[in-house]
């Protein structure tokens, strides 16, 4: 579904990604972790071309992301993305947030878009807030709306960029629950997160990055059982003890 081949990326002369390769199969849940500044958020943004990359190739469902001829808006509309800071549109109501892209990009009628959006809103348990503005919701609620917004486009895969990092601890679980449910229904997911509990429950594979390189790319059991690299061991010992 998503194949990343030998990606390298520079900001000016500073190299942020070095020769990264991996693959996410249909229905697979892959967790990407690593210390901050390791390039994990950058690589996930390369997948839907929010960040350009200078070398290598990324294919999503057989379409090359880096090809200048690719219709990026169309490609992006098929990949859902959830951001660290939610990025709901603050000037639009919750319902409008859910329907805007459905109408403008997929060409759905306002009624169809609304039905679809509200169904998903109900699914994340926020039907009562459909007419509110994002600023009136808690962080956890906003992130659930953001997930519903991404799902309303009927994506073939979902990207999560640290979806719980900006949340207060008591709100993390309400978001993780939605993600777990999604994973169990067979959604293809690539998730950048520090939540190792989530990884243990639903991930098929774990990728560990450090300093712009993929250090480990193995099954969940291998990663938590016996990570091969020292850096991954160090990272795990830090993150699991707090």
Contacts with another protein, residue ranges (CB under 8 A)? 45, 48, 50, 72-81, 83-85, 87-91, 100-101, 104-106, 135, 149-150, 153, 159
- Least Å from the CB of residue 230 to another protein: 34
Residue closer to another protein by CB (options 25, 104) is 104
- Least Å from the CB of residue 103 to another protein: 10
- Least Å from the CB of residue 44 to another protein: 11
Residue closer to another protein by CB (options 153, 206) is 153
CA 225/CA 34 separation, integer angstroms: 17
- Least Å from the CB of residue 5 to another protein: 22
Give the other-Cβ count within 10 Å of 24's Cβ.
22
What's the token pair of residue 221?
């059991």
- Least Å from the CB of residue 142 to another protein: 12
Cα angle at 122 between 48 and 124, to 5 degrees? 50
Residue closer to another protein by CB (options 58, 150) is 150
Report residue 227: phi and psi, to 5°: -65, 140
Residue closer to another protein by CB (options 65, 232) is 65
154: left (phi over 0), alpha (psi -120 to 50) or beta: left
Residue closer to another protein by CB (options 90, 186) is 90
- Least Å from the CB of residue 114 to another protein: 16
> Can you tell me whether residue 242 is helix, strand or coil?
coil
- Least Å from the CB of residue 47 to another protein: 10
> Can you tell me whether residue 212 is helix, strand or coil?
coil
The residue among 26, 74, 69 whose CA lies nearest residue 48 is 74
Burial grade of 133 (CB within 10 A; 0-12, 13-18, 19 or more): middle
Cα atoms in the Cβ-side hemisphere of radius 13 Å centred on 181: 14
Residue closer to another protein by CB (options 71, 221) is 71
Residue closer to another protein by CB (options 30, 81) is 81
Q: Do residues 102 and 108 touch, judged by C-beta distance below 8 A?
A: yes
Q: Do residues 1 and 159 touch, judged by C-beta distance below 8 A?
A: no
């Amino acid at each position: 579904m998503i194949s990343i081949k030998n990606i390298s990326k520079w900001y000016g002369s500073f190299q942020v990604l070095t020769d990264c390769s991996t693959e996410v199969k249909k229905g697979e849940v892959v967790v990407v972790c690593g210390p901050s500044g390791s390039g994990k958020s950058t690589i996930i943004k390369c997948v839907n071309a929010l960040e350009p990359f200078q070398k290598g190739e990324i294919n999503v469902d057989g379409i090359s992301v880096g090809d200048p001829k690719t219709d990026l808006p169309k490609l992006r509309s098929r990949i859902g993305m959830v951001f660290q800071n939610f990025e709901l549109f603050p000037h639009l109501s919750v319902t409008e947030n859910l329907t805007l892209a459905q109408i403008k990009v997929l060409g759905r009628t306002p009624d169809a878009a609304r039905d679809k959006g509200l169904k998903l809103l109900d699914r994340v348990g926020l039907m009562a807030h459909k007419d509110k503005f994002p600023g009136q919701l808690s962080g956890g609620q906003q992130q659930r709306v953001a997930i519903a917004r991404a799902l309303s486009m009927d994506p073939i895969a979902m990207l999560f960029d640290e979806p719980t990092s900006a949340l207060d601890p008591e709100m993390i679980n309400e978001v993780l629950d939605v993600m777990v449910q999604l994973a169990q229904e067979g959604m293809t997911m690539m998730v950048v997160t520090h939540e190792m509990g989530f990884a243990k429950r639903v991930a098929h594979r774990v990728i560990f990055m450090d300093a712009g390189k993929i250090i480990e790319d193995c099954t969940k059991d291998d990663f938590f059982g016996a990570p091969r690299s020292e850096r991954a061991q160090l990272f795990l010992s830090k993150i699991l003890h707090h």
